[in-house]
Structure 1
Amino acid sequence: MSELLKRTLSSIVFVPGILVLLYLGGVYFDALCLGLSMVLVYEWLNLWRGYAVRKGLKFQELVFISVGVIYIGLAMHKFWTLKDIQHKQFMTFLIVWTTDVGAYIFGKKFGKTPFSPVISPKKTWEGFWGGVCVCVVICSAVMYAQLAELLPYTGASSFLYNFFSGITLFSTLVFSIRFMFYSIFAHLGDLLESWVKRYVGVKDSSQLIPGHGGFLDRFDSFLAVCCAYYVKDILHSCGIFF
Structure 2
Amino acid sequence: MGATNTSGKWGDFAIRTGSAVLLVPVVIALAWLGGAWFALLLAVFGVLMALEWVRLVNGKPDLIQQGLHGAAAAAVPWLVLAKLPGTAFAFIALAWVASLLWLLSRRHGQARAALIGLPYIALPVLSLALLRADATHGLSALLWLMIVVWSADTGAYLVGRLVGGPKLAPQISPGKTWSGLVGAVTGAALAGGLLGRVMDLPAIPPLVALAGLLAVIAQLGDLFESHLKRQAGVKDSGKLIPGHGGILDRVDGLIAVALGVLAIGVLRSGTNNIAAALLLW
Unpaired runs of at least 5, structure 2? 1-5, 63-105, 270-279
Structure 1 Cα separation of the partners of residues 209 and 112 of structure 2 = 34
Match in the other structure for 1:201: 233
1:75 matches 2:84: no
Tell me how far 1:227 sits from its aligned partner: 0.3
Contact between 2:58 and 2:111, CA under 8 Å: does it hold in 1?
no
- Count how many residue pairs are aligned between Structure 1 and Structure 2: 215
Identity of aligned residues (%): 31
Unpaired runs of at least 5, structure 1? 149-165
Match in the other structure for 1:93: 146
Tell me how far 1:71 sits from its aligned partner: 1.4
1:128-167 aligned at under 5 Å gives the runs 128-147=181-200
Tell me how far 1:16 sits from its aligned partner: 0.8
Tell me how far 1:9 sits from its aligned partner: 2.4
Match in the other structure for 1:47: 56
Structure 1 Cα separation of the partners of residues 34 and 154 of structure 2 = 26
Question: Which one has a bigger Cα radius of gyration?
Answer: 1
Structure 2 Cα separation of the partners of residues 117 and 4 of structure 1 = 22
1:61 matches 2:61: no
Which of 254, 258, 265 is residue 222 of structure 1 equivalent to? 254
Cα 1:118–1:98 change in 2 (3 A) is same
Cα 1:25–1:172 change in 2 (3 A) is closer
Q: RMSD between aligned alpha carbons?
A: 2.4
When normalised by structure 1's length, the TM-score is: 0.81
Contact between 1:51 and 1:200, CA under 8 Å: does it hold in 2?
no
Structure 1 Cα separation of the partners of residues 15 and 153 of structure 2 = 18
Structure 2 Cα separation of the partners of residues 132 and 6 of structure 1 = 24
Contact between 2:218 and 2:257, CA under 8 Å: does it hold in 1?
yes
One-letter amino acid matched to 2:177: T
Structure 1 Cα separation of the partners of residues 126 and 263 of structure 2 = 14
Please list the CA deviations of residues 148-198 of structure 1 after superposition, one character each: whole Å capped at 9, or x if unmatched.
7xxxxxxxxxxxxxxxxx7xxxx3431222112211111111111100000
SS in 1 for 2:161: helix
Cα 1:7–1:81 change in 2 (3 A) is same
Q: List, as ranges, runs of 4+ consecutive aligned residues in structure 1 with deviation greater than 2 Å.
A: 1-9, 48-53, 57-63, 233-237
Structure 2 Cα separation of the partners of residues 42 and 143 of structure 1 = 36
